[in-house]
Amino acid sequence: MTGRFGRLEEEKVFKDPVHRYIHVRDELIWELIGTREFQRLRRVRQLGTTYLTFHGAEHTRFNHSLGVYEIMRRIVENMEEREHWDSEERLVCLSAALLHDIGHGPFSHSFEKVFHTDHEEWTRKIILGDTEVHKVLLKMGQDFPKKVADVIAKTYPNKLVVSLISSQIDADRMDYLLRDAFYTGVSYGHFDMERLLRVMRPMEDSAVFKHSGMHAVEDYIMSRYQMYWQVYFHPVTRSAEVILSKILHRAKHLYEQNYQFKDKPKHFISLFSGSITLEDYLKLDESIILYYFQEWQDEADAILKDLCQRFMDRRLFKYVECDPSAQMKIWTELNQLFIKIGLDPTYYLVIDSSSDLPYDFYRPGEEEERLPIHLLKPTGELRELSRESDVVEAISGKKRTDHKLYFPKDILENDTTFAEEKKRILELLMAQEG
């Protein structure tokens, strides 16, 4: 490398409960960790509202980003001993691993849906814009920041490098599965990472896995599948997300209606108006959001006030399973009944759908192509995983979606007013579950 950074005089370590230690040997990495944009990730939880379901899941994206870096460091160390690896790419790779999530804001999932922002775009802006991160990267060379951004954007020419960060089995996914399992305390999510790294073989376009390691790959895929259904799509978390996005919707709506907030929500203005700058964006973290949610508990608007109280005090919506395609008639009746009892169904009767593709392979024309996992036979032949593994085949390409209908059961069960209507609503809702 021709940059101004070299090796640290003495290796630095971070104590990490998942990987035991995170090892930093490069000045570049050390300085990137010290930037304010990277430190900001300490104020953004890794799993958004999941802590309302699994109280242990309070870890942040800072925590996870160090983990992804560490896994990449180990992959790179392994690969340097082998052929296909161009060691020049080492620091590009490590930086991309460390920074891949730097564009995430607070509660990204709901924010992106409501405000049409895109954390990948922000990642790019942070790496290429006027930031401390950018200044540090620049010391490695004029085109270094762009290389790092390209890896994360998957447009980097070296597809192997790209695949190590974004593919079916990449450093990102390996870390989050292990880490989220650790912090939630669930027993799923464990797999033998050390073995996966050992059987990983770099090829021109991506890493493949020795066929003898197939069961370790299967185990990884199954862990992912379990984590999706046990943790990521947990219906209680989705309830919190429903309320969260309805708060954002309502606040935006009120702003557009020239509603007078008690205090001007200055951090939100540019979000509401779609004119957010990098500087504005970097100020957003979970404390800011939670500050407003707490303030809004005292707003005059009944909906905003109620939703914020629900979120802060964790009085979430309950849910029933539903089949949105089949029940238009009931749906109409429910909406009318909600209006009748004074609950705006836009905010209080919400369908949420989840879907998951725990393993999938290339199907041309799909919006986001997912590269398949290949196994390498002793003969040199490559075989696509789902053709070799019954288990993976069973869950491949099956888009499993579940639909749930969320609503404030507490209000409906309080029958001092509209007793009749509420009883009918509850009947209709409970009948969904059949």
**DSSP alpha helices (H): ranges in 34-170?**
36-39, 61-80, 90-99, 108-115, 119-128, 132-138, 144-153, 159-165
Q: Please tell me the distance from the alpha carbon of residue 212 to that of residue 178, in angstroms, as a whole number.
A: 23
Query: In 198-234, which positions are buried (b, 16+ CB within 10 angstroms) versus exposed (e)?
Result: ebbbbeeebbbbbbebbebbbbbbbbbbbbbbbbbbb
Q: Which is nearer to a second copy, 21 or 362 (CB)?
A: 21
Site string for a second copy, 285-324 (x = CB under 8 A): xxxxxxx--x-----------------xxxx---------
Is residue 430 close enough to count as binding a second copy by CB under 8 A?
A: no
Instruction: Kindly give the interhelix angle for 214-227 and 171-184, rounded to the nearest 10 degrees.
Output: 50
DSSP 324: T
Is residue 16 close enough to count as binding a second copy by CB under 8 A?
A: yes
Judged by CB under 8 A, the stretch of 15-23, 133-141, 162-170, 244-252 that binds a second copy is: 15-23
Q: Which is nearer to a second copy, 364 or 434 (CB)?
A: 434
Distances (CA, A) of 369 to 119, 207, 240, 269, 359: 19, 17, 30, 36, 12
Is residue 14 close enough to count as binding a second copy by CB under 8 A?
A: yes
Residues 110-129 that bind a second copy (CB under 8 A): none
Judged by CB under 8 A, the stretch of 30-38, 84-92, 109-117, 337-345 that binds a second copy is: 30-38
Is residue 62 close enough to count as binding a second copy by CB under 8 A?
A: yes
Instruction: Give me the half-sphere count of Cα atoms (radius 13 Å) on the Cβ side of residue 350.
Output: 25
Distances (CA, A) of 132 to 2, 34, 100: 20, 9, 16
Q: How far is the CB of 257 from a second copy (least distance, A)?
A: 25
Q: How far is the CB of 359 from a second copy (least distance, A)?
A: 11
Q: How far is the CB of 34 from a second copy (least distance, A)?
A: 7
Q: Please tell me the distance from the alpha carbon of residue 148 to that of residue 145, in angstroms, as a whole number.
A: 5
Provide the Cα torsion 195, 179, 160, 158; round to 10°: -160
Q: How far is the CB of 155 from a second copy (least distance, A)?
A: 31
Q: Which is nearer to a second copy, 315 or 423 (CB)?
A: 315
For Cα atoms 308, 182, 40, give the angle at the middle one, nearest 5 degrees. Answer: 55
Residues 248-287 that bind a second copy (CB under 8 A): 283, 285-287
Selected binder of a second copy within 5, 28, 44, 63 (CB under 8 A): 63
Nearest to 347 by CA among 358, 339, 355: 339
Selected binder of a second copy within 47, 59, 304, 320 (CB under 8 A): 59
Is residue 395 close enough to count as binding a second copy by CB under 8 A?
A: yes
**For residues 106 and 44, is the Cβ–Cβ distance under 8 A?**
yes
Site string for a second copy, 192-231 (x = CB under 8 A): x-xx--x----------------x--xx--x--xx--xx-
Q: Is the torsion defined by CA of 232, 346, 244, 172 positive or negative? A: positive
Q: How far is the CB of 208 from a second copy (least distance, A)?
A: 16
Is residue 359 close enough to count as binding a second copy by CB under 8 A?
A: no
Judged by CB under 8 A, the stretch of 48-56, 157-165, 252-260, 414-422 that binds a second copy is: 48-56
Is residue 383 close enough to count as binding a second copy by CB under 8 A?
A: no
Judged by CB under 8 A, the stretch of 38-46, 68-76, 139-147, 168-176 that binds a second copy is: 38-46
CB atoms within 10 A of CB 340: 14
CB atoms within 10 A of CB 84: 12
Selected binder of a second copy within 9, 83, 390, 427 (CB under 8 A): 390
Judged by CB under 8 A, the stretch of 92-100, 187-195, 243-251, 331-339 that binds a second copy is: 187-195
Q: How far is the CB of 193 from a second copy (least distance, A)?
A: 9
Selected binder of a second copy within 130, 139, 185, 323 (CB under 8 A): 185
Q: How far is the CB of 63 from a second copy (least distance, A)?
A: 5
**For residues 381 and 370, is the Cβ–Cβ distance under 8 A?**
no
Q: Exposed/middle/buried for 242, CB within 10 Å: 0-12, 13-18, 19+?
A: buried
Write out 222-276 in H/E/C secondary structure. Answer: HHHHHHHHHHHCCHHHHHHHHHHHHHHHHHHHHHHCCCCCCCCCHHHHHHHCCCC
Q: How many residues bind a second copy (CB under 8 A)?
A: 71
Q: How far is the CB of 292 from a second copy (least distance, A)?
A: 9
